[in-house]
Amino acid sequence: MNNKKKRQQAIRDIVASKGIADQKKFLVLLSRLGFELNQATLSRDLAELMIAKIHGNYRLAQINLPQESPYKILSFIRAGSNLLVLKTMPGQASALALDVDRLGCRHILGTIAGDDNVFIATENKKGQKQVITQLSKYFLFLK
């Protein structure tokens, strides 16, 4: 098992056994276990593991999506540095937006659905890239 996998397993174990309210405490606990990392690396690990702050403590985000969503994304457009526009089949945008919301991605600030378009607001350009990566894991991009 490589160092990243060991570190991420340690993060999972900490989340499962303790109520952690801030990343500083995470860093201290990981340091005691022999993992020296910075806050940026911890943030990336938390995002990859889909661990989010819920009701004041970090927890594994609950995702109630099928292995692959039945909703197809026909195309997506980056609109500026913090907006994505997803194009889907007519009548599917609301259901697609609900599935996007259920992802629990911390980089998504909100979604708005029309008939065949979903607008996703992200915190910044980096967050926008993270959202695209996460969306590609759960949705079929046709373009």
Share of the chain above pLDDT 70, in %: 88
Burial 12-39 (b: 16+ CB within 10 A, else e): eebbeeeebeeeeebbebbeeeebebee
Average pLDDT in the 111-122 region?
A: 94
User: What pLDDT was estimated at residue 132?
Assistant: 84
Share of the chain above pLDDT 90, in %: 29
Residue among 40, 2, 66 at smallest CA distance from 130: 40
Task: Yes or no: say if 103 and 134 are a contact pair by the CB < 8 Å rule.
Answer: yes
27-37 per-position pLDDT tens digit: 999 999 999 99
- Going from N- to C-terminal start, the domains of the chain cover 3-60, 72-141
83-111 per-position pLDDT tens digit: 999 988 888 899 888 888 887 788 999 99
User: What pLDDT was estimated at residue 52?
Assistant: 77
Mean pLDDT of the chain: 83
Pairing of strands 117-122, 72-73: unpaired
User: What pLDDT was estimated at residue 62?
Assistant: 54
Question: Is the pTM for the entire model greater than 0.85?
Answer: no
Task: Report residue 135's pLDDT band, with 50, 70 and 90 as the boundaries.
Answer: confident
Cα 112 from Cα 42, distance rounded (Å): 30
User: What pLDDT was estimated at residue 143?
Assistant: 46
CA distances 106 to 61, 87, 124, 134, Å, are 10, 22, 12, 11
For residue 14, give the H/E element and its range.
helix 3-17
41-84 per-position pLDDT tens digit: 998 888 777 787 777 888 876 544 444 556 678 888 889 999 99
Among 1.10.4160.10, 3.40.50.10470, 2.40.50.100, 1.10.10.10, name the CATH number for the domain at 3-60: 1.10.10.10
CA distances 141 to 30, 70, 111, Å, are 37, 11, 18
CATH number for region 72-141: 3.30.1360.40
